[in-house]
Chains A and B, each alone.
Chain A
C-alpha cells in the first residue's frame, strides 16, 4: 500500500518534470521601439505583477545619456529635454510638467526601472512627437513610420499571394532554408516574422479558399509582427529586389496535390546556380555618423555617395549589385551580416572613409583561431573561415587595380565587423583624405577612379570568388 502511494507520487512528479522540459523556457519578453532611424528591442521584466523596462535601455539608443542621480532624483536628458524621476514615486516631471507613470519607479543595482506604460509619456514628451503604443504586443512606434501592406491573391493551377509593403521589409521565416531570397517552409503553414519593421494591419484574417493558400492571419506579439499563411503546401517566399514585394507560391505545381512530395531541399547545386551579385555596404548611417571630417563632411554621407557610384559602375559592366542601405538609416552590424548571408551575395564590399594618412586601404578579414563548425552551424565569430582565401584574392585584385590608377594603397588583414561573420568573400575599402584636403573625400573625379578599380578587380576574380566550396 505504502509502495503504491510512493509510485503515484513519483509518477506525478515525473510527469511535472517531463511537462516542464517539453514546454521549455518561456521566451524573454521584450518591447520593440520603432523609429525612423532605427529599431531596437529592450527586455521587459515583471515587478509586482507589472511589466517594467530599464530607463537607460529605452532612451540610450535615442541618444540620451545615462540617468544621473542628483539628490533623491534621477535625471535623464534627451534632445535638450529633461525628465526627473524619484525612486518609489509614480510621477515624473518632464519639461517642468508632472506625468503619471502608472506605477512606481524602482532602482535595482543603480538601474532605474519604470513601468512599461511610462514609455508613452516619456518618449512623447522628450522627443515631442506622436507615439503609437501597442501595449499588449509591446510594440511602440515613434512618429509616423508605420508600414502597411496589401495582399493580392491569384487563383489557378499555380496560386500565388503577393504582399506589397509601403516600405522595404526583411522578414524572417520560421524555417531558414534560404537560397537567394527563396525560403522553403512548413507544409501546412508559412510564417513571416517582422522583427525590425513597423508592419501593422487593420485586418487580422483574410480567407482565400484555395488548397495551397487558404488564409492569412496577422498578429502582433512580444515586440514583433507575425504573418501566417495556411494551406496544404510548402510555399516559396520570393522577395523583390527593392524588398517591398513578397510573393508566396507553392514550391512545385504538384506540391498542392501531393503534400508528401513537397519536401524540396535547397541543395548546394541550387546555390551554385544562383545569380552572382555584389552586396555593397555603405558604412554607418542614421545615428551612427562615423568619422566627422572638419564638421562639414560625415563618413556616413561619403560612404553612401561612394556606394551609389559603385552600384552605377557595376551596372554599366553588367554586374548585379544590391545595397545594404540606400538612405540615411542605421542598420545594425549584425543585421548587415545576416542580410548578406541570407541573400548569398557573391561578394561583400564595405565602404568606409577615415584618417590617418592618405590613399586607399583595402582590408580583408583576419581570423586567428577559427572555431570549427558544429554540425550544420557555423560559429558566428569565424563564419568567414571557408571564404577567407577568396576574400584575400578579391582584396589583392582590387588593390592591384587601385595601384594601376596611381593610388597609394595599403592592404591589411584586420578584425573589423562584420567581415568575420560573413560566409561569403568579404572586403572593406577605406578612403583616406588626400593630405589635409578633407573635401577630397567627396571628389567625384577621385571617387570615380576608386569605384572603377573596385569594379575591375571584382570582374577579374568573379569566376574565382563566385564558386562556393
Chain B
C-alpha cells in the first residue's frame, strides 16, 4: 500500500512536469513566430537585375554625433529610381544591423521612390521607419542627412528630396525633423559637412 502523502507528491510532480512542458511548447512557438516576423521585416533584399557595386554611404554615429562615409556592397541596377531605392536601403541596412551605430526600428524600409522630373525624388518609407524612429532633433536630422547625402553621392542629378510615410505626407519624422518641405540637397550637404 503506497502512503497517501506519497501519492499526492507524485501527483504534484506529474502536474508540474505537464505545465512545464506546455510552457516550453508555447515559448518555442513564440520564438519561431518572432524569427519569422523578423525575416518579414528584413529591409534589404538584393535586386535580381544589376551588378554588385561598391558604393559610398554616409552613416550616422550616435555615440560621437557624427556622419562618416562607409563602403557598402550593393546590387545596383541601371535605372535611376531603382538605384536610389537600393542606395537608401543600403543606408538603412547599416542602422538595422546589430550592434547599430544609429538604431532604427525593425521594419524601417523604403516602400518606393518616385522621380518628379529629373531632379526631384519622392521617397516613400514604411510606417515603421517614422513610427519607431527615436525622437530628437539631432537624431532625426542625422537620419535624413545620411540618406540624402548617400543619394546624391550615388544617383547624380537629384536636387530636391521629399519624404512620405506609408504613402502619405507627415508633418515630422518623430516630432522634430520637417517632412512637409522638400529638402534641398545643397543645403543638406552644408548641414552634413558640420557633422563630418
Contact = CB atoms under 8 A, between A and B. Distances in A.
Interface stretch (B49-57, B86-94, B130-138, B149-157): B130-138
Given A288-B175, A417-B178, A412 B135 contact: no
Given A356-B62, A416-B141, A291 B187 contact: no
A292 B135 contact: yes
Given A355-B139, A413-B191, A420-B181, A290 B175 contact: yes
Interface in A361-391: 361, 363, 366-369, 381
B172 A333 contact: yes
Interface string A414-447: 1111001000000010101000000000000000
Contacts of A416: 137, 141, 176-178
B137 A415 contact: no
Given A291-B134, A355-B62, A368-B186, A417 B139 contact: no
A369 to B, nearest CB: 5
Interface in B90-133: none
B171 to A, nearest CB: 6
Contacts, number: 90
A177 to B, nearest CB: 28
Classify chain B: how many residues form its interface, as a range.
Answer: 20 to 34
B190 interface: yes
Interface string A341-367: 000000000001011110001010011
A284 interface: yes
Interface centre among B137, B178, B180 (most CB of A within 10 A): B137
Contacts of A352: 136-137, 176
A26 B59 CA distance: 50
A320 B65 CA distance: 36
Nearest to A413: B191
Contacts of A333: 171-172
Contacts of A291: 134-136, 175
Contacts of A283: 175
B137 A414 contact: yes
Contacts of B135: 290-292, 299, 354
B63 interface: yes
B28 interface: no
A287 B194 CA distance: 33
Given A416-B176, A416-B177, A417-B172, A361 B137 contact: yes
Contacts of A428: 137
Interface residues of A, number: 32
A129 interface: no
Contact of A415 (B65, B187, B194): B187
B184 interface: yes
Contacts of B187: 366-369, 415
B181 A412 contact: no
Given A355-B62, A417-B172, A430 B136 contact: yes
A16 interface: no
Contacts of A430: 136-138
Contact of A354 (B136, B188, B191): B136
B171 A355 contact: no
A352 B181 CA distance: 21
Given A413-B190, A413-B191, A415-B178, A356 B171 contact: no
Contacts of A420: 178, 181
A417 B171 contact: yes
Nearest to A369: B184
Interface string B159-187: 00000000000011001111011011011
B181 A381 contact: yes
B186 A356 contact: no
Contacts of A366: 187, 190-191
A430 B184 CA distance: 24
B138 A415 contact: no
A410 B65 contact: yes
A333 B177 CA distance: 12
A410 B191 CA distance: 13
A32 to B, nearest CB: 19
Nearest to A411: B194
Interface of B: 62-65, 134-139, 141, 171-172, 175-178, 180-181, 183-184, 186-188, 190-191, 194
Given A367-B187, A369-B184, A412-B194, 12 more contacts: A284-B175, A291-B135, A292-B135, A333-B171, A368-B186, A368-B187, A413-B194, A415-B141, A415-B183, A416-B176, A417-B180, A420-B181
Rank and list the top 3 A-B pairs by shortest CB-CB distance, nearest first. A354-B136, A368-B187, A368-B184
27 contacts: A284-B175, A288-B175, A290-B135, A291-B134, A332-B171, A333-B171, A333-B172, A355-B134, A356-B62, A356-B136, A356-B139, A357-B138, A361-B137, A363-B137, A366-B190, A366-B191, A368-B184, A368-B188, A368-B190, A414-B137, A415-B177, A415-B178, A416-B137, A416-B176, A416-B177, A420-B181, A428-B137
